[in-house]
Structure 1
């Protein structure tokens, strides 16, 4: 049975994944209020009071108003930080940012609503060292991994692996260099790169290279699992498929029972209702966990395969039990 009320969608102006969810909720005649936290305080006003029955009040733009008491669920996708005037002195800006986070953000977190995902738990789960440990404890195979800022440790790790080693950034790294957009993806290291002095500048993550027959993007929504094989047809995509979407093909698949059970345990341990999991499947058919994104995109998989992931997300937000 579905709950009644409004779904609050918090995300940036350009978010194709959120667009899919909003479109489906509209089709279901579920009220939606979409906003970006960047609109606060100049384009989004908050007024909330506390009485014996919790917080009551409104979020309002120049065109729409949301009664906080009607919020049944919050889809916390990719909102951007609150924006303040460029003319504001740095000291005042720092205070305003902190107050907005604890006041405006605090009201949102105090809503007795279903969150996908809960922001605090999602933030914790984004730490790769944590998710790798939890995955291993939950019975999933994980690659041998080293995190270090010592070049000698990296060299010794590569010697122990006795095979290819890959470097991975902890977070997406994108920017502009000489006017061109650049991104850092997983990189197979050459022997001369291992132990490079630049490793000393910050933390680096190194893993053994796992032989690939193909990769799998497994999207879990509650207890529902949607898995698709990702087959790469270029050198770049075979190293990191995110670097070359044009040379990927997809096929729906069913994960082994032990992998499905491990995925559910990981989500339970991390306190997440949703996760976009990446696996490598070796030529012998063994599944190896790479990472889980607590708010990962899924639209490209749904578009290629027809897997009903948007419907599952909306079921969760709407309070529909499978």
Structure 2
């Protein structure tokens, strides 16, 4: 697909990040069709046939129709799972959801257009062990890290580090505890935690604490990079800035060439056009890679700094640049 056609936005119904991109595309008079996987099959109908070398057909809501052949790009921004009739049995629901993923999702993945990000590549890149390995291979500094379910291995790791140890979840853990929303963030762990038998119940990620002057959120879109210092003025925020957004101060910064080149190598290796990278910067000015989110939020950085991240994403979806 060339530089004409519709941008298909796959996102949850309430997603301020997707809203920013859609507003920018609307301002540019670029056609947009927004849908959510949750709309299928109750509010979103699909009909497509293989004709010649490609798929041809439509997506239909009760108000709009999308010609699949007219899709120039897809913004894959954390759509939610398909929903099915309440009366459907759990067994039938599991089968229907798998079929929806392979059929509906598979058809969209076959469209000859650019994705931001490609869902399969984004899913692979969610694995933190892979991220850390690729980051190290790409020339970025990475904290000493242990993944284990063995308490004695955790204890030996802590002894070898001879300094504070951080525990991190492999994913964003959120839930409801005592009728309140709760989340698990990175935390400094004590020796008794490292040797707790609960360590044996699943995989855990432990890292050596990196002395922190501030952190950086670096958002990469194609070849463009937008970096912002994050100064968290609270104890919890200093350990994990995501735990206390209210304590933040932001400042635009420029990544060193070594970091810029490492980020580009990571994106090429992971086959991603977009990444929200998190770094720790030490008092000596060294940048340490922590993680990359292949579909991470950027609105809070843009709002605080004015960095034109939305415009860069819209450029990519519109077909400009790489």
Q: TM-score range by the shorter chain?
A: over 0.9
Matched, 1:99 2:114: no
After alignment, is 84-93 or 219-228 more displaced?
A: 84-93
The corresponding residue for 2:116 is 116
State the 4+ residue runs in structure 1 displaced beyond 3 angstroms: none
Q: Does the 8 Å CA contact 2:166/2:186 hold for their aligned counterparts? A: yes
Question: CA separation in 1, counterparts of 2:227 and 2:269?
Answer: 21
- Unaligned segments of structure 1, at least 5 residues: none
For the residue of structure 1 that corresponds to 2:264, the secondary structure is helix
Question: CA separation in 2, counterparts of 1:172 and 1:86?
Answer: 28
Matched, 1:63 2:63: yes
TM-score by length of 1: 0.98
Question: CA separation in 1, counterparts of 2:140 and 2:130?
Answer: 14
- Unaligned segments of structure 2, at least 5 residues: none
Post-superposition offset of 1:241: 0.3
The corresponding residue for 1:198 is 198
For the residue of structure 1 that corresponds to 2:192, the secondary structure is coil
Query: How is 1:44-59 mapped onto 2 (pairs within 5 angstroms)?
Result: 44-59=44-59
Post-superposition offset of 1:191: 2.5
Residues 235-262 of structure 1 show CA distances to partners (whole Å, capped at 9, x for unaligned) of 0100000000000000000010010000
For the residue of structure 2 that corresponds to 1:8, the secondary structure is strand
After alignment, is 80-89 or 283-292 more displaced?
A: 80-89
For the residue of structure 2 that corresponds to 1:84, the secondary structure is coil
Question: CA separation in 1, counterparts of 2:237 and 2:19?
Answer: 27
Question: CA separation in 2, counterparts of 1:174 and 1:272?
Answer: 26
Q: Does the 8 Å CA contact 2:155/2:191 hold for their aligned counterparts? A: no
Q: Does the 8 Å CA contact 2:17/2:298 hold for their aligned counterparts? A: yes
Q: Does the 8 Å CA contact 2:49/2:56 hold for their aligned counterparts? A: yes
The corresponding residue for 1:291 is 291
For the residue of structure 2 that corresponds to 1:50, the secondary structure is strand
The corresponding residue for 1:239 is 239
Residues 216-271 of structure 1 show CA distances to partners (whole Å, capped at 9, x for unaligned) of 00000000010000001000100000000000000000010010000000000000
Post-superposition offset of 1:91: 2.1
The corresponding residue for 2:15 is 15
Residues 268-291 of structure 1 show CA distances to partners (whole Å, capped at 9, x for unaligned) of 000000000000000000000000
Query: How is 1:168-207 mapped onto 2 (pairs within 5 angstroms)?
Result: 168-207=168-207
Question: CA separation in 2, counterparts of 1:98 and 1:263?
Answer: 34
The corresponding residue for 2:225 is 225
Post-superposition offset of 1:180: 1.3
Question: CA separation in 2, counterparts of 1:93 and 1:290?
Answer: 38
What number of residue pairs does the alignment pair up? 321
The corresponding residue for 1:155 is 155
Question: CA separation in 2, counterparts of 1:43 and 1:238?
Answer: 44
Question: CA separation in 1, counterparts of 2:83 and 2:298?
Answer: 28
Question: CA separation in 2, counterparts of 1:194 and 1:97?
Answer: 39
Question: CA separation in 1, counterparts of 2:53 and 2:166?
Answer: 54
After alignment, is 178-187 or 93-102 more displaced?
A: 93-102
For the residue of structure 2 that corresponds to 1:193, the secondary structure is helix
The corresponding residue for 2:164 is 164
